[in-house]
Amino acid sequence: MAEIIASAKKKLDSKSVFWLLVVAFIEGSTVMAAELLGAKMTAPFFGTTIYSWAAVLAITLGGLAAGYYFGGWISSRKPTNIVLSLILVLSGIFMLFMPSTAKFIMTSVIEIELLWGLIISLMVFLFPLVFLFGMVSPVIIEALVEKVQNSGKIAGKVYAISTVGGVVNTLLMGFYIIPNYGIKMPAMAYGLLMLLTAIFFISTKRKVLFSILVILVSIIGISAQNYSSEKKSPLKIIYSSEGLLGQVKIVDYNIITKSDEILPLRGLLVNNTWQTVINMNDGNSMLDYIYFIRPLLSGFDKGSNALLIGLGAGALGRDIQSKGHNLKVVELDSRLEMLAKKYFGLPKETVVIADDGRHFLRIEKEKYDLIIFDAFLGENPPWHLLTKESFAEVKALLNPGGKLIIEFYGLIEGEDGLATRSVYKTLESIGFEVDVIATADSNTMERNFIYVAGDTPMDYKLLDYSGKKYTDKVINNLADHIIARDEFFKEESYVLTDDLPILEKMLMKPALMWRKELNKNFRDRLVATGQPIFY
């Protein structure tokens, strides 16, 4: 195969042209694999905010642009078969070692400022790879172009085929490969594919030696991905999976209470952020905000219709059902229904619909007495659920006297509290009466707000405050925990709308602070004990 492109100026036969276009298709496919895998690798360390995705896209495009330029420069100076085989070999090696390289650099920069850590990490494990991929198309075009008059046509064909490869593989990666095979296996598979492709462009007399080299590199690369320095850890991972919506883990661990009681806990983590923690002895949630929502559930007659947007591991869903309400759950990540029912005791008959919450609100016809938004994914607020248009759709689905309950960040002061104040203002803008219940007195990241919105006030004295609670906080009248309305209008705020998605920008600073604190726990409990980072 090497001989067919030994000279870029020699006329190529149809078979040679075909194989070069196949390489263009493979390159386009692997570029998108690298980009998606890179984004998924950063998620456990840096989250999945718009800033993380913007950084991944910028580094990818920057690497490709640099590769296009350098590939065009070198393609006319060196024999095509040598250049192309070298690019394919290097890109295969980088792809093969991508998970271990990403783990090394991200654990090394975990202590520095998050955005800088993200950019440095991507420059180390993603930029060189896409730079190499960017060189492929110009080299192929140089090999195919016989005369200047054909250059535009040839270039268009190569880039079109490469782009088609990217489109096809984006769909495959998102809907099949990552959900079923995770991160490490696809990275190794695509790395091997690039190395094997390079063999075709090596001269016959060097094929055996190069094949042996490919085998050795592959063994080292696969061993690097499977190497574990696992030490004794207080956390036992009993389930893990990668998906387009994030990395999901279920862990078991023990804590010792002030009374020296050992409590066995089970937690659900998405991108290494806690979504649910329950006591395995009785199934009760260990998260404070659940204790503040639970009494609100008793304010509705048994048999009331409840809609929960955001399942997590189902702790809140179980509480809703325990009050005798008819529950319907909407959860975008289809994995969570199975996990909640298998590992966290969500009743098997619970109706869980795999859909985006906002889309469901638009198509739903049934009326509800209670709608709850518990859809935070890590530090990411579901901004499209928290707009004036979304709240209007909720209002149309509520029966008279019905309530919308939202769990949200608990900051209210200064720039960090702008989002919280704006959600309040947006709720009032459509005619809701709003109370905000605080899970703590201090204006800190540990506090949550529970928004209670509806067309009528709620009498908090008549609620049921019984039930097991694993907290020192006194919760016997939610009215005592309500933040005065005036507090939300002391500083500027905005009505949030669909055509101005500014909520993530408002939350950037507190979200980064929250992620940094989580990373400390992540480092101490998982990274330091050698637990697997990618699956």
Q: What is the pLDDT of residue 323?
A: 94
Contact 381, 507 (CB under 8 A): yes
Q: Looking at domain 2-226, which CATH architecture does it have?
A: Up-down Bundle (1.20)
**Chain CA centroid to CA 237, Å:** 19
Q: What is the pLDDT of residue 3?
A: 47
Q: What is the pLDDT of residue 149?
A: 61
Residues with Cβ within 8 Å of 408's Cβ and at least 6 positions away in sequence, in order, are 376, 381, 419, 420, 423, 448, 449, 450, 451
Q: What is the pLDDT of residue 432?
A: 97
- At what angle are helices 14-46 and 50-75 packed, to 10 degrees? 150
Q: What is the pLDDT of residue 411?
A: 87
Sketch the domain layout of the chain as residue ranges: 2-226, 284-510
Strands (E), 231-380: 236-243, 246-256, 262-270, 273-279, 305-309, 326-330, 351-353, 368-373
Q: What is the pLDDT of residue 186?
A: 93
Q: DSSP letters along 410-440, please?
A: ---STGGGHHHHHHHHHHHHTT-EEEEEESS
Mean pLDDT by 10 residues, the chain (535 residues): 47 76 94 94 83 92 96 81 86 92 88 87 96 94 72 89 95 90 90 85 63 69 59 78 83 84 89 87 89 94 96 94 96 93 95 96 97 83 92 97 94 91 97 95 83 94 86 86 94 94 84 71 62 62
Residues with Cβ within 8 Å of 192's Cβ and at least 6 positions away in sequence, in order, are 92, 96, 218
Fold of the CATH domain 284-510 = Rossmann fold (3.40.50)
